[in-house]
Amino acid sequence: MDIGSLKLDGFTALAPLAGISNLPFRRIVKRCGCSLVYSEMVSVKGLLYNSDKTYSLLQSSIEEKPLSVQIFGSDPKEMAQAAAIIEKLTFNQNPSVKVADTIDINFGCSVKKVIKSGAGVALMQNVANAENILKAVRDAISIPLTIKIRSGWDSSGKDAFKIAEIAQKCKVDAIAFHPRVASQGFRGKADWSLIGKLKANLSIPLIGNGDILSADDGIAMMEMTGCDGVMVGRGAMADPFILSDIEKIKSVGKLEQNRSLEEIFSVMKGLLISSVEHFGELPACKMMRSRLVWFIKGYPECSKFRRALTNIESMSQAIDIINEYQSFINNLNRQ
């Protein structure tokens, strides 16, 4: 899948997830074989007001490239200014390499605070402003521009079709589509049929999103809708390997072998270590209390592992618990 001038090695993307798709998690998902990772949602106002918290969301690593930075806002001028700032960001260790490979505009966030500001899915009700934003940002940057949309405000998908038509006219390079209406949040079922209908009306790549909770779901979406790629959010939280599994099945027709226990625990430790480096030991350990268990859901006595993580305060303490549980599973497998 190509997104404008950006040529991807595959067709999977990690969705932008507030509080989840931070740099350590993106690095791990990339290590697991994902083609394109998205940043957490970046406020253009926070960026223009030089908010340290906002700028922290833009911290990146060359090993996670390519990276799409997602922005949200409602003022065309501010959106263009923020996009231009992001495009100019480079790595300290290699100033010739840009941090962002694409910039994505959020048209899908249904959080009340975001909607109230006129951003996110609210833009799908304000077609004139949406077009002004797309034109302004497109004129402000030379790297690929993408958007992420929902079905809109009713189940017909007419809002999505209208925004997609405008986006293509404004030379947006790709669209990610989550076919749920604004009021659904993540409830109910995503209407994949709308992905197929929208794909039939587009000449630019369409990335399908919504209810991909297994590798088979990702393959099924591509086969059912004809979309060019798939974006996984909550499914990657439950199984960070899901994106690489989709890539493997798509390329060779099946998973060649079961994932080794050593690989699973190695990636788990990698997320812990990367998080400690990024956030500091205690903040990272508090975060990992609920996240390390993602990797071993369904394993024997994983509830005990979860309880053991409840009060971790140091990386060494967490590593000891991981090693102990890994030994327990290895012993079970030998019996």
Catalytic amino acids? 109
Is 46 in contact with 53 (CB distance < 8 Å)? yes
DSSP label of 40: P
What's the 3-state SS for 84-145? Answer: HHHHHCEECCEEEEECCCEEEEEECCCCHHHHHCCCHHHHHCCHHHHHHHHHHHHHHCCCCE
DSSP secondary structure code for residue 15 in this structure: P
Angle subtended at Cα 80 by Cα 100 and Cα 55, rounded to the nearest 5 degrees: 50
CA 252 – CA 246 distance, rounded (Å): 10
User: For residue 14, how many C-alpha atoms fall within 13 Å in the half-sphere facing its CB?
Assistant: 38
Q: Which residues have CB under 8 Å from 322's CB, separation 6+?
A: 265, 268, 269, 272, 292
User: Are the C-beta atoms of residues 80 and 20 closer than 8 Å to each other?
Assistant: no
Which of 26, 31, 13, 15 shows the shortest CA–CA distance to 267? 31
* Sole residue written with tokens 């909607």: 115
Q: For 41-55, what is the HEC assignment?
A: CEEHHHHHCCCHHHH
Helix or strand (DSSP H, E) at 13: strand 12-14
CA proximity to 201, closest of 227, 222, 224: 227
Contacts of 189 (CB under 8 A, 6+ apart): 211
Cα separation, 276 vs 76, whole angstroms: 37
DSSP string, 156-184: T-HHHHHHHHHHHHTT--EEEEEEEEGGG
